Amino acid sequence: MESQQFFGTEKISRILLKLAPPVMLASLIQALYNIVDSLFIGRYAETGLTALSIIYPVQLLMIALAVGTGVGINTRMSSLRGKGKPENADETARIAAPLELLLWFLFAAICLFGMPAFARMSTESEEVIRDIIVYGRITGICSIGLFLESGWTKVLQADGNMKTPMTAQIIGALVNIALDPLLIFGNGPFPELGIAGAAIATVIGQISAALVVMKKGLRKSPPFHKYKEITKEVFRLGFPNMLMQTAYTYYILGLNLILATFSDQAVTTLGLYYKWQTFFFIPLGAMQTCIVPIISYNYSAGNLERCKRTLRDSVIFGLILMSLGTLCFVLIPEQMLRVFSNDELVIRIGRIGFRWIGISFIPMVTSLIFPVFFQATGFGGRSSFLTIIRTVFCFVPLGWLFSRLGLDWFWVTFPLTETITTIIGLCFYKSFLKHPYSIAQTSNLQTNLRKQ
């Protein structure tokens, strides 16, 4: 189906129902293998589980660079097609592989030389430090599959192809799940590698996924003189997403350091929350992925009403689906924690923490979708500001403030942060509707309706 027919005229709920399920299924498999990864490591050694919790911000930074660049490519392609410039959109698609390869090289170098310093900053346990360095270096230096898959996936999604990326992520996840027990514990010809085995399984899964999307995602490189213009625009459009993910790195690292003043078990508890969060945030993540090309296309085409309807429908879907996560975190936190750990201190901390976090899921829907909406409409400043408010000025300062009252109070940080961000996002949205372009588009729509 052509973009004009699909993004421009199809019913919004049908677009989301068509685009979201493949993304959600792929994310489900992705979440499953993240959980399985931690499950095997937790069974192998508790120190490995703590190491995974500490290394998580670094993995987010890697994803920020890879996916953020892909989002910039996706947004530019959709915008150009909305303006009736398909040739320019194709030129943007061709730059995906070179850009992602450059970012992979830079990140690999950082992991090679910087991982020991990061590990020693995060913990005093020599065993945990060793696990962090081993896992971090392997997954960082060998992350070429993640970077290439992220770029090619966003190119295909901008073309309306959700099935190939879904297939790629499922294959990558299944490869990881199959290799995890073999390489961690050792079996037959496979040696017992412990946490190094988990890292190797992860990068092999990423490379497998990249090979699947390569055939349809790989494009001939554009003329060299086009690189500067396209790259500048891609990073401008992708920067809010990069900032959002990078800010996650900052605030999770900050929260880890705050919790480390209580115990390693407190850090582990936060890490287990993020493992489960990945699973329960599938609907919200799918909404974020799917609304970008819809909103970007229609905003460029001057159809503001469809942009507003897309935002409304995605929030409604997100609220309905995220309610399940709230119920689980509030009603069965102990059962969720015991999937990974039998440490009674982790269980005690998590029973209180998970319940407070579950309450935050409802306002979190809007606090995360508003930045994506502003990014897709070209208001990158507002998108970035919301991200900075949430992660820099709320999470870490509030976490430190509440931690002064005790560990149990620390978890109040989550619902309060999401509520503050949502309120500011609503204010920005009202301001967006008063923007001259928005007023003009609303006036044109009313004029056309009267003529009909």
pLDDT tens-digit readout, 336-375: 999 888 889 999 999 999 999 999 999 999 998 998 888 8
SS (H, E, C) 266-300: HHHHHHHHHHHHHHHCHHHHHHHHHHHHHHHHHHH
* High-pLDDT (> 90) share of the chain, %: 31
Q: For residue 53, give the nearest of 263, 273, 335 by alpha carbon.
A: 273
Contact 237, 75 (CB under 8 A): yes
Radius of gyration of the chain (CA): 22
Q: In the block, which residue shows the tokens 């996650």?
A: 248
Q: What share of the chain is helix, strand, coil (3-state, %, to 5)?
A: 85, 0, 10
Is 0.75 surpassed by the pTM of this model? no
pLDDT in tens, 209-224: 999 988 776 666 666 6
Looking at residue 150, what is its pLDDT? 87
CA pair distance 47, 130, nearest whole angstrom: 10
pLDDT in tens, 154-185: 888 877 777 888 888 888 888 988 898 899 99
CA pair distance 290, 12, nearest whole angstrom: 11
Domain boundaries, the chain: 3-447
Contact 207, 150 (CB under 8 A): no
Least confident among 92-101, 129-138, 320-329, 422-431:
92-101
Does position 445 have pLDDT exceeding 50, yes or no? Answer: no
Least confident among 18-27, 191-200, 351-360:
18-27
Q: In the block, which residue shows the tokens 């677009």?
A: 15
State both tokens at 19. Answer: 């685009």
Which of 109-118, 229-238, 303-312 is predicted most confidently? 109-118
